[in-house]
């Protein structure tokens, strides 16, 4: 008799509890489709500030509550950058008739998503939607692409100011100021480097970065005038003609046309 009571208690302790972790009867919601509007964005059209672009899209998903399933608790959409792992942004989608959702209760969930990206971050982004019900059952995840398209234009160099000849005192040195204007059709913030190479030096591939710090005559920090001062010191072989190649490069990796200038050290 004691053994029977013990067995009954053991069986009673294993009975599935409603809503418990042992209850397998839940049917999760189903994400049928998801999309971003627009799903292809020309980055040149986006608002920009401090080298970043502001993206605004409408995320939308069709969620099906299957027969026997509990009420839907959350529908979340996330955006991940091209080649990224962690989401840039995650927001809750709603089906309550508020903008941008037009009809309440139709199973179409939506929300506006706004985030910033670097100017150089073109590629295929991913919009992912996942839903869950009030019992904690999680739906399938559905992804859709978001194309960030960049119609890039290369930087432009102009207005080079550089001497044609420089006299170096015997046993001394001379400073050579170099100034150039660099602009970019995609915005000044798109330029990441302005530089020159001395083609007749021991290392013609070495890049000497010019600065946009306002040190050029009539310029201010952050404008389009880049400058550098090169110091030439006397040596037995220094007096000859040197070719200087000036270029600019943008965040997309495009380079400007090269401007060549020769300086004779005397």
Lowest mean pLDDT among 19-23, 65-69, 247-251: 19-23
Q: Give 91: exposed, middle or buried? Use CB within 10 Å, 0-12, 13-18, 19+.
A: middle
List the CATH number of the domain containing 122: 2.60.40.10
CB-based contacts of 61, cutoff 8 Å, min separation 6: 31, 32, 33, 34, 35, 75, 77, 93, 108, 109, 110, 129, 131, 142
Which percentage of the chain shows pLDDT scores above 70? 91
Instruction: Mark whether 188 and 242 lie in a shared domain.
Output: yes
Say which residue, 7 or 110, is predicted with more confidence: 110
Best CA proximity match to 196, nearest among 253, 239, 242, 254: 242
Q: Tell me, yes or no, whether 8 lies in a domain.
A: no
| pLDDT exceeds cutoff 50 at 14 | no
Q: What does the pLDDT look like over 80-108, one tens digit per residue?
A: 998 899 999 999 999 998 878 778 999 99
C-alpha to C-alpha distance for 90 and 129, rounded to whole angstroms:
9
Q: Tell me, yes or no, whether 7 lies in a domain.
A: no
- Cα-to-chain-centroid distance, residue 126: 13
Q: What does the pLDDT look like over 110-161, one tens digit per residue?
A: 999 999 998 778 899 999 999 999 999 999 999 999 999 987 889 999 999 9
Query: Which of 149, 177, 212 is the last residue before a domain boundary?
Result: 149
**pLDDT on residue 25:** 61
Instruction: Mark whether 116 and 169 lie in a shared domain.
Output: no
Q: What does the pLDDT look like over 20-64, one tens digit per residue?
A: 444 456 799 999 999 999 999 988 888 988 778 999 999 999 999
Instruction: Mark whether 139 and 33 lie in a shared domain.
Output: yes
Best CA proximity match to 76, nearest among 117, 51, 110: 110
Instruction: Mark whether 143 and 40 lie in a shared domain.
Output: yes
Instruction: Mark whether 76 and 170 lie in a shared domain.
Output: no
Instruction: Mark whether 164 and 144 lie in a shared domain.
Output: no
Query: Which of 149, 179, 197 is the last residue before a domain boundary?
Result: 149
Range of the domain at 43: 26-149
Q: What is the pTM of this model?
A: 0.58
Lowest mean pLDDT among 13-17, 72-76, 141-145, 222-226: 13-17
Find residue 175's DSSP bridge partners.
231
Q: Is the dihedral of CA 40, 42, 45, 48 positive or negative?
A: positive
Q: What does the block give as tokens for 39?
A: 């799903």
Instruction: Kindly state the DSSP code that residue 71 receives in the 8-state scheme.
Output: P
Average pLDDT for 158-180: 94
User: How many domains is the chain partitioned into structurally?
Assistant: 2
**pLDDT on residue 125:** 97
């Amino acid at each position: 008799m004691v053994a029977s009571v013990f067995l009954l208690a053991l069986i009673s302790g294993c009975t599935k509890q409603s809503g418990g972790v042992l209850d397998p009867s839940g049917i999760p919601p189903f994400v049928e489709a998801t999309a971003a509007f627009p799903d292809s964005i020309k980055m040149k059209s986006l608002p920009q500030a401090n080298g970043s672009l502001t993206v605004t899209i409408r995320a939308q998903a069709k969620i099906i509550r299957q027969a026997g399933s509990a009420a839907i608790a959350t529908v979340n959409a996330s955006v991940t950058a091209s080649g990224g792992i962690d989401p840039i942004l995650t927001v809750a989608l709603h089906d309550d008739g508020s903008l941008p959702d037009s009809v309440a209760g139709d199973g179409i969930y939506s929300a506006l998503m706004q985030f910033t990206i670097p100017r150089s971050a073109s590629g295929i982004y991913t919009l992912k939607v996942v839903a869950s019900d009030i019992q904690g059952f999680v739906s399938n995840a559905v992804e859709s692409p978001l194309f960030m398209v960049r119609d890039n234009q290369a930087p432009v160099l102009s207005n080079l100011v550089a001497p044609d000849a420089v006299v170096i005192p015997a046993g001394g040195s001379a400073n050579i100021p170099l100034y150039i204007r660099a602009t970019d059709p995609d915005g000044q913030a798109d330029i990441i480097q302005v530089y020159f190479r001395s083609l007749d030096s021991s290392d013609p591939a070495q890049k000497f970065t010019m600065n946009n710090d306002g040190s050029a005559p009539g310029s201010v920090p952050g404008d389009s005038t880049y400058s550098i001062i090169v110091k030439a010191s006397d040596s037995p072989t220094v007096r000859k003609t040197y070719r200087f190649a000036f270029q600019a490069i943008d965040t997309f990796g495009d380079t400007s046309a090269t401007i060549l200038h020769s300086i004779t050290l005397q």
